[in-house]
């Protein structure tokens, strides 16, 4: 068993095995994880995090691969966080996606980490933040967070990124579908992938039509990720926007705010939960509700009023 | 403005407008909502809640309609909670689904409530629990919780139900897809809808094959909801299982436990958040992190250690 100290040193030195162990221990919320994150924090801040989302079948993995391969050629090191909602149940990722991902996984300088949407002790968003930060300290220039689908959880995760790519494809009304599902507001760049298919221009026009209602200027780019078409233009756009985005304090403040609230919520809950477990309060409370001696609302309210009376939760 | 007292009385008397107002006020966490829930609590406990989930396009709405219409004929009153992840963004439900739902919405004794997956102050799961409970007090025999898709949020919501239907369709590997997405563990009944399509038997066999690995006995039924085929058999199965399920203490305890934890988490978090807002602590904390005076982990940890020292969060 490596100590935190060893893992931190290894991670900062660019050791991939230390990195993997470090991430696992933080994900598991092993004792001392916060202190470890604090120790690597000064080494963070250089990485740009890019979220990639879109409906299943839009070719997000292929696009992620193509973008990664090009960045790699440009001497940028890349980390990939693959957010996979099916993992906790099926015990693994959707096979096709991950298989395809292997071709970049073997490239030097590319590190891939899968992350399940369930069973994350700190919640998925904070998990993604933590892993991206560790990859930052490890020295990655760019971290791509790729989601399998476009569910609410996945939207929340990509929102933790500095920039969001929304991927659409022609056919099956996917373009419109993605917009309906509410990803419009979060897109910094729209990508119409599989643009060699019929209807690609219609999808571009649909998106542009929707965007006219918005104040935000969002480019719509066409790619054929499988044959690397349009990838250079996409990467150029990404890098251009990255530079523009620097020192946007308002955006950073929003990010910090979300993180503080998410960390606090998790810690408070975990503490209460442990207390309840240790004291037997929870078992008794469940029994009381079952026996109709009380109801959940009264019980929780009563518990909570006591906390307030003790003026416990002070302002820091 | 009706008072809580008036709304409670109206709801218990079967007044639909009071019911709608009551639900809205609870969803908005209006002052006094907990006390209102406590007051209706003694009138609850008769309703059975059934979750209906499955991939988009599986025909869940049509199935919900068909089941509702039949239950209606059998003199059972039905409430429907339509969980719609797109609502908060698009400002409304997926049009097709809701239009179709109108045919049962106009039946006497059927009440439909839409619920968005975002912007719910108490979280989606607790929101569904609250609404189901209010419908219980209102006098509904059965509440159906229907999700649009099969995302993680939606799985969590149907898990609050007493019984879960997972709907699959032939074609596009949907049967297997649903299983992969992790809904297998939560299904009490599998429904292969659109069973007049080619490949229906294969889907049934696929599911049965997967089920062989499981200890739970889960029936797989075929329906064609659009022409009401197989609906009687499905409803019979639902009612049969409802009766069997009565007085399963272990199951109830798990439900209560989830609810207590979810209510507590929400209340504590909301309290901290308000405190932070009011005292300016949050604004200062964000600025400190932005200025690199501290990091989120240290800051939250420090705040939290103070709480612990005050021995604030006692065991109830």
ipTM > 0.90, yes or no: no
* Closest CA–CA distance from residue A245 to any residue of chain B (Å): 15
Q: How far is CA A100 from CA A59, A63, B16, in A?
A: 11, 11, 54
With contacts defined as CB-CB under 8 Å, which chain A residues touch B281? 315-316
Percentage of chain B beyond pLDDT 90 is 47
Interchain contact, B304 vs A271, CB within 8 Å: yes
Interchain contact, A290 vs B253, CB within 8 Å: yes
Q: Is the Cβ of A310 closer than 8 Å to some Cβ of chain B?
A: yes
pLDDT tens column, A5-43: 999 999 999 999 999 999 999 988 889 999 999 999 999
Is CATH 3.40.50.300 the right assignment for the domain spanning B44-246?
Answer: yes
With 60 as the cut, is the pLDDT of residue A257 above it?
yes
Q: CA quadruple B211, B217, B223, B225: dihedral positive or negative?
A: negative
With contacts defined as CB-CB under 8 Å, which chain B residues touch A264? 269, 272, 300, 303-304
- Comparing alpha-carbon positions, the chain A residue that sits nearest to B252 is A290
Nearest to A257 among B185, B261, B286 (CB): B286
Interchain contact, B303 vs A316, CB within 8 Å: yes
Give the whole-angstrom CA distance, residue B58 versus residue B224.
11
With contacts defined as CB-CB under 8 Å, which chain B residues touch A301? 34-35, 38, 267
Interchain contact, B181 vs A85, CB within 8 Å: yes
Confidence of residue A233 (pLDDT cuts 50, 70, 90): very high
- Name the residue with tokens 């890349």: A78
Q: Which of residues 240-259 of A touch B (CB under 8 A)?
A: 249, 252-253, 256-257, 259
**What is the model's pLDDT at position A210?**
81
Nearest to B86 among A37, A181, A303 (CB): A181
Q: How far is CA B217 from CA A17, A246, B30, B185, B220, in A?
A: 43, 57, 43, 11, 10
With contacts defined as CB-CB under 8 Å, which chain B residues touch A252? 290
Q: Which of residues 92-131 of A touch B (CB under 8 A)?
A: 94, 117-118
> What's the pTM value of the predicted model, to 2 decimals?
0.74
Rounded to the nearest integer, the mean pLDDT of chain A is: 83
Interchain contact, A252 vs B290, CB within 8 Å: yes
pLDDT tens column, B98-113: 444 445 555 667 888 8
With contacts defined as CB-CB under 8 Å, which chain B residues touch A278? 315
Say if CB B61 and CB B101 are below 8 A apart: yes
How confident is the model over B36-62, as a mean pLDDT?
91
- Comparing alpha-carbon positions, the chain A residue that sits nearest to B297 is A34
pLDDT tens column, A137-195: 999 999 999 987 776 677 888 889 999 999 988 875 544 554 555 677 789 999 999 99
Give the whole-angstrom CA distance, residue B83 versus residue B85.
7
Helix (H, G, I), strand (E, B) or coil at B236: helix
Architecture of the structural domain at A45-246:
3-Layer(aba) Sandwich (3.40)
**What is the model's pLDDT at position B239?**
93
* Closest CA–CA distance from residue A73 to any residue of chain B (Å): 33
Q: Is A228 left (phi over 0), alpha (psi -120 to 50) or beta?
A: left
* Helix (H), strand (E) at residue A187: none
Q: Which of B98, B99, B136 is nearest to B22 (CA)?
A: B136
Would you list the domain boundaries of chain B?
Answer: 1-43, 44-246, 254-309
With contacts defined as CB-CB under 8 Å, which chain B residues touch A173? none
Interchain contact, A263 vs B289, CB within 8 Å: no
Q: Is the Cβ of A213 closer than 8 Å to some Cβ of chain B?
A: no
Q: Is the Cβ of B173 closer than 8 Å to some Cβ of chain A?
A: no
Q: Which residues does A41 contact at the CB level (< 8 Å), separation at least 6?
A: A133, A137, B295, B297
């Amino acid at each position: 068993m490596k100590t935190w100290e060893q893992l931190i040193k290894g991670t900062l030195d660019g050791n991939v095995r230390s990195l993997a162990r470090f991430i696992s221990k933080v994900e598991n919320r092993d004792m001392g994880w916060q202190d470890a994150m604090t120790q690597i924090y000064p080494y963070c801040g250089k990485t740009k995090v890019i979220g990639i989302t879109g409906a299943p079948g839009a070719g997000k993995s292929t696009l992620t691969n193509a973008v990664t391969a090009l960045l790699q050629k440009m001497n940028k090191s890349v980390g990939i966080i693959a957010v996979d909602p099916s993992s906790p149940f099926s015990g693994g990722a959707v096979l096709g996606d991950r298989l395809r991902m292997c071709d970049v996984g073997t490239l030097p300088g590319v590190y891939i980490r899968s992350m399940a949407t369930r069973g994350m002790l700190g919640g998925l968003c904070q998990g993604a933040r933590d892993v991206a930060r560790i990859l930052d300290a490890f020295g990655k220039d760019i971290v791509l967070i790729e989601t399998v689908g476009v569910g609410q959880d996945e939207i929340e995760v990509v929102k933790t990124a500095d920039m969001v790519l929304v991927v659409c494809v022609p056919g099956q009304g996917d373009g419109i579908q993605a917009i309906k599902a509410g990803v419009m507001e979060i897109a910094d760049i729209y990508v119409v992938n599989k643009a060699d298919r019929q209807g690609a221009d219609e999808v571009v026009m649909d998106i542009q039509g929707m965007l006219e209602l918005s104040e935000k200027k969002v480019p719509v780019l066409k790619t054929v990720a499988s044959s690397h078409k349009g990838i250079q233009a996409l990467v150029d756009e990404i890098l251009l926007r990255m530079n523009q985005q620097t020192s946007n304090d308002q955006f950073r403040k929003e990010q910090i705010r979300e993180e503080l609230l998410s960390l606090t919520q998790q810690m408070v809950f975990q503490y209460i939960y442990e207390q309840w477990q240790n004291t037997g309060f929870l078992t008794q409370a469940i029994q009381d509700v079952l026996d109709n001696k009380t109801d959940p609302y009264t019980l929780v309210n009563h518990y909570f009023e006591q906390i307030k009376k003790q003026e416990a939760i002070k302002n820091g």
